[in-house]
Amino acid sequence: MYKKGVVAHHPFFRLHALASTEPQFTVVVSKQVHKHAVVRNRIKRQLRAIIRKLHKKPYDVVVVVKQKAVGVAAKEFSIAINQVFHKLQLL
C-alpha cells in the first residue's frame, strides 16, 4: 500500500490512501508520539470519529500521527483532515 498509494503530509500526521473495493481506515499512533497510552488512545479516538464522518469513497486510508499532534483540539484535527482529504480528492 505504501508504494502504490498516494501520500499527503501535514504537521500533525501523514495520510496514505489506496483505492480499494470498500472504505476502510486505520489510525496509527506510536510510542514515539507520547509515552502514555491514555494520550495515544485519545488522539486515535478523536481522529477515528472525524474520519468516520468524512470517509465515504472506497479507499484504504492509513493515518500515521506525528508528535506535533499531542495536545491538539478535535476542531484542529477536523480542519486538518478536511484539508488533506480535499487535497487527495477523497471526499
Q: What is the pLDDT of residues 23-45, one digit of tens each?
A: 999 999 999 999 999 999 999 99
Residue 1 lies in a domain: no
Range of the domain at 23: 6-87
Q: Quick one: CA torsion of 40, 45, 51, 54, rounded to 10 degrees? A: -150
Please determine, for residue 1, whether its predicted confidence score (pLDDT) is greater than 70: no
Mean pLDDT (whole number) for 80-89: 92
Whole-number Å distance between alpha carbons of 60 and 24: 5
Most distant CA atoms of the chain, gap in Å: 36
pTM of the model: 0.90
Number of structural domains (the chain) is 1
CB neighbours (10 Å) of residue 69?
Answer: 23
CATH number of the CATH domain containing 69: 3.30.230.10
Per-residue pLDDT of 39-76, as tens digits, reads: 999 999 999 999 999 888 899 999 999 999 999 999 99
Whole-number Å distance between alpha carbons of 23 and 43: 21
